[in-house]
């Protein structure tokens, strides 16, 4: 009788010994395997056949090879009864998990592989611009810019801006003449077209609250083009009208791009257009004749040749914002990361 008891207890004890849970050599993540042998990553639980990866248990599946751990899984009664272990095993699962803390700290370069490559790509940039330095008239412009990068840091581009209808005269244009009897000649723009040469000396990256990383660059730019401008008649508006004319303008500026993706960036640029502006004459000629054959015509108020005054070197400082789109959208790195 005692022998039977000891035998039963021994049997029970054996049943309690967790069978080793085997690491899987053939870990598959597809549906092709047999019913019992697959490692599944679902929440179905079940018996000892499937290894589940949920948070409900207390045992560590990574310790499946340690038979003494009560929380271990995958064996138990099934193993004792000789059922083939469903998750067969050569190595502990732990070996499949990379412990990054144990790795040698890799060398991190200040700026590793550039997030965006520019070499050989085109850049299309719709822009909105506003003048910064004219207290009498604010010049607004919608524009577009198309660029092509010769190298990673050197590029050529052409831009076009449309101004007409977007100018806004400031309150100073009213107050100063009234208070100080000072008439300041002002001009309006119709359009501008320019060629630019770009150089990108600064490239960097920023984190937002140490969570998200984005990349940016800073470029300087210079070139030449023209503005199509004319005076707004303020000295003798009853008589004078002006046609638009071409003013050759050099441009120089600095800008930055903040890359949202590898082909879309927020674009900000300060650009100074330098040119000789033709201003309205502050003098009204004394004669009133409209007869072009008259000897008084040269000093006639109606003679268009008397309407323009001095040419003045002008800085038109513009701030542009826009969105850059690079294409082709994708690119290949020459070297692996």
Partner 1 sequence: MKTKIVLLVVLASLGLSAVPEAARAQEIQLEGPLAGAPAVRRLVLYREGRFFLTPTISFTILDTYRRHILFGAKAEYNILDWLSAGIYFGGGFGWRTGIADQINDLGIDDVPNQDYDLNFPQHGRVDNQLGQLQWLGAVEGRIIPLRGKFSLFGKLFLAMDVYVNIGVGIAGVKERGVTDCSGGATGVDGLCPTDAYRPMETRVAVGPSFGGGISVFFNDWIGLNLEYRSTPFTWNQSGTDEYGESEVILDRRIDENDRFLAWNQMMTIGCTFVFPFTAERTE
Q: Which residues bind partner 1 (CB under 8 A)?
A: 8-9, 12-13, 15-16, 18, 45, 47-48, 51-62, 71, 73-78, 80, 93, 96-98, 100, 103, 108, 110-111, 132-133, 135, 171-172, 175-176, 178-182, 184, 201-213, 216, 218
User: How far are the Cα atoms of 28, 49, 152, 337 from residue 53, in angstroms, in the given order?
Assistant: 15, 13, 47, 32
Nearer to partner 1 among residue 14 and residue 332 (C-beta): 14
Q: How many CA atoms lie within 13 A of 206 on its CB side?
A: 10
Dihedrals phi, psi of 2, to nearest 5 degrees: -60, -35
Nearer to partner 1, 131 or 251 (CB): 131
Nearer to partner 1, 179 or 293 (CB): 179
- The nearer residue to partner 1, 62 or 245, going by C-beta atoms, is 62
SS (H, E, C) 111-131: CCCCCCCCCCCEEEEEEEEEE
Nearest CA-CA partner of 257 in 204, 213, 317: 204
Q: Which is nearer to partner 1, 165 or 201 (CB)?
A: 201
CB of 318 to partner 1, least distance (A): 14
CA 294 to chain centre: 65
Q: How far is the CB of 189 from partner 1 (least distance, A)?
A: 19
Rounded to a whole number of angstroms, the minimum distance from the CB of residue 211 to partner 1 is 6
Find out whether 256 and 268 touch, Cβ atoms under 8 Å. Answer: yes
Cβ-contact 223, 194 below 8 angstroms: yes
CA nearest to 162, candidates 227, 214, 241, 79: 227
Residues 22, 93 contacting (CB under 8 angstroms): no
Give the bridge partners for 275, in sequence order.
249, 314
Closest distance between partner 1 and the C-beta of residue 75, in Å? Answer: 8
Give whichever of 16 and 126 is closer to partner 1, judged by the CB atom: 16
Rounded least distance, CB 162 to partner 1, Å: 24
Nearest approach in angstroms of CB 283 to partner 1 is 15
Sign of the alpha-carbon dihedral angle for 324, 328, 330, 336:
negative
- Contact of 137 with 169, CB cutoff 8 Å: yes
Residue 180, SS3 per DSSP: helix
Query: Are the beta carbons of 295 and 303 closer than 8 angstroms?
Result: no
**Closest distance to partner 1 from the beta carbon of 40 (Å):** 11
Q: How far is the CB of 240 from partner 1 (least distance, A)?
A: 21
């Amino acid at each position: 009788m005692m022998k039977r008891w000891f035998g039963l207890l021994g049997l029970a004890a054996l049943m309690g010994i967790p069978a080793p849970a085997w690491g899987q050599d053939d870990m598959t993540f597809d549906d092709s395997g047999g019913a019992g042998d697959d490692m599944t990553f679902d929440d179905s639980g079940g018996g000892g056949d499937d290894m589940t990866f949920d948070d409900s248990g207390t045992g560590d599946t990574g310790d499946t090879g340690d038979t003494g751990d009560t929380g271990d899984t995958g064996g138990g009664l099934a193993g004792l009864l000789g059922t083939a272990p469903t998750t067969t095993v050569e190595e502990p699962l732990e070996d499949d998990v990379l412990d990054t803390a144990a790795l040698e700290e890799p060398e991190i370069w200040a700026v590793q592989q550039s997030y965006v490559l520019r070499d050989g790509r085109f850049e299309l940039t719709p822009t909105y611009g506003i003048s910064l330095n004219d207290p009498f008239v604010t010049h607004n412009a919608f524009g577009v810019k198309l660029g092509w990068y010769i190298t990673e840091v050197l590029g050529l581009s052409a831009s076009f801006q449309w101004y007409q209808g977007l100018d806004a005269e400031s309150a100073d244009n009213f107050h100063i003449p009234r208070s100080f009897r000072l008439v300041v000649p002002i001009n309006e723009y119709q359009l501008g077209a320019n060629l630019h040469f770009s150089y990108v000396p600064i490239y960097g990256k920023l984190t937002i609250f140490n969570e998200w990383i984005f990349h940016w660059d800073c470029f300087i730019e210079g070139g030449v083009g023209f503005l199509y401008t004319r005076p707004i008649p303020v000295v003798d508006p009853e008589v004078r009208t002006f046609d638009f004319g071409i003013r050759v303008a050099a441009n120089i500026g600095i800008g930055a791009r903040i890359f949202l993706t590898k082909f879309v960036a927020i674009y900000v640029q300060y650009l100074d257009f330098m040119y000789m502006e033709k201003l309205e004459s502050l003098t009204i000629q004394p004669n009133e004749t409209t007869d072009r054959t008259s000897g008084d015509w040269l000093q006639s108020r109606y003679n268009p040749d008397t309407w323009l005054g001095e040419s003045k070197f002008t800085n038109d400082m513009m701030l542009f914002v826009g969105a850059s789109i690079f294409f082709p959208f994708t690119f290949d790195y020459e070297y692996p990361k």
